[in-house]
Amino acid sequence: MDFSMGHLEEEKHAQYILSIEKKKGDFESVAMEHLRMNGAYWGLTTLDILGKLGAVDIDEVVSWVMQCQNKSGGFGGNIGHDPHLLYTLSAVQILALLDKLDVLDVDNLSNCILQFAQELDLGESMCYAAKISFCHFPDVPLGLFEGICAGKLAYRSNVTFPCINNASFFSQQNNTSFAFTLGYELVLTYKSDVAGLQSEDGSFSGDIWGEVDTRFSYIAVSCLSLLHCLDKINVAKAVNYIVSCQNSDGGFGCTPGGESHAGQVFCCVGALAITGSLHHVDKDLLGWWLCERQVKTGGLNGRPEKLPDVRYIVNEYYSRDKENGGISDRPDDAVDIYHTYFGVAGLSLLEYPGLKAIDPAYALPVDVVTRILFHNKGSSV
């Protein structure tokens, strides 16, 4: 492939990523606080592909990651945030990059993926706010979400809300009483009935709220594989569910019958690759669907009639900030760490000179995956 049209400016991209950590007070940083774990994965993986991971304080990163772990074993997007599969995989990937998987209690973490509802830990700030509202302002109706949080808190901690003993509470505050009851019952249901995030049909939920998406299937498979615990789930059912999400155009959706999307294609094909099940993919049909994602500018979109985006491997040269580093979704837009990762990872897949090779299934550098999966004697993927 011809890369003569420009230079990647590896040093500027690395400096851009490292500078983000110093801007925690910026609006952009505050707005993205809830998914900082994902941002750390994008940034650190990009640095590793660029050969610049040595600029990072590994102990500091590991310490922060472990502070984001919930009692259940799962990880939140930041310290004090609720656990979710999305952030749990990013945490495992970060520790894998840094060769620090040994800090994990693997049994606890893998069991969390199987039995996420064992520990229901609301953000303490929301629990406190709900309790204060109920106890000190019993006549003020709460919003649906606050009521649900209060109900969950009541079940989890046996918290007593004085106003609940008031006979008029449920008759006068319909919205709040409904929300409180819903929150209490949600926890009761998950506490007693959910054996794990994998459902009978083989699908996976991202957390206790039950959203099902093939993204979560990929995350569970990838995470457990990296931890050498893939045998803890029903792989056959997981594969069958993913296959059921394949459409007549060759692509995959988030659920059976869902619209084909390049992001879901990555997740489904990645999970099938990890489980040795790529024979289920109609390679020719899917290949043509993916080829049709390329638009006239050379970029690729995620689905028909959409704009191109560097996430789908757009021409990085035209989407980069040549002065300050970083890559944007498309030319002339602001750069961000998310698209910087996908731009650099895309160039790695295209074998851009000087970049470390990235594994297309695990979304980690090949040397990291090789170290974990094949240099760990006595382990099984």
Cα separations in angstroms, 278 against 258, 269, 274: 20, 7, 9
pLDDT in tens, 266-299: 999 999 999 999 999 999 999 999 888 888 877 7
CB-neighbour burial class of residue 156 (10 A; exposed 0-12, middle 13-18, buried 19+): middle
pLDDT in tens, 32-65: 788 899 999 999 999 999 999 999 999 999 999 9
pTM summary value: 0.75
The alpha-helical segments, DSSP class H, found in the chain are 10-20, 27-31, 36-50, 58-67, 85-97, 106-114, 124-136, 144-157, 169-172, 174-193, 214-226, 235-244, 262-274, 283-291, 316-319, 337-349, 366-374
Residue keyed to tokens 């008031």: 166
Q: Which DSSP helix (H) or strand (E) runs through 176?
A: helix 174-193
Length of the chain: 381
Map residue 332 onto helix, strand or coil.
Answer: coil
Q: What is the mean pLDDT of each run of 10 residues along the chain (381 residues)?
A: 63 88 67 86 96 94 95 89 92 97 88 54 43 47 50 48 43 47 44 49 84 93 93 93 96 95 94 97 93 82 74 48 74 83 90 94 97 67 46
- pLDDT score of 242: 97
**Whole-angstrom distance, CA of residue 108 vs CA of residue 327:** 37
Radius of gyration in angstroms for the set of CA atoms belonging to the chain, rounded to a whole number: 23
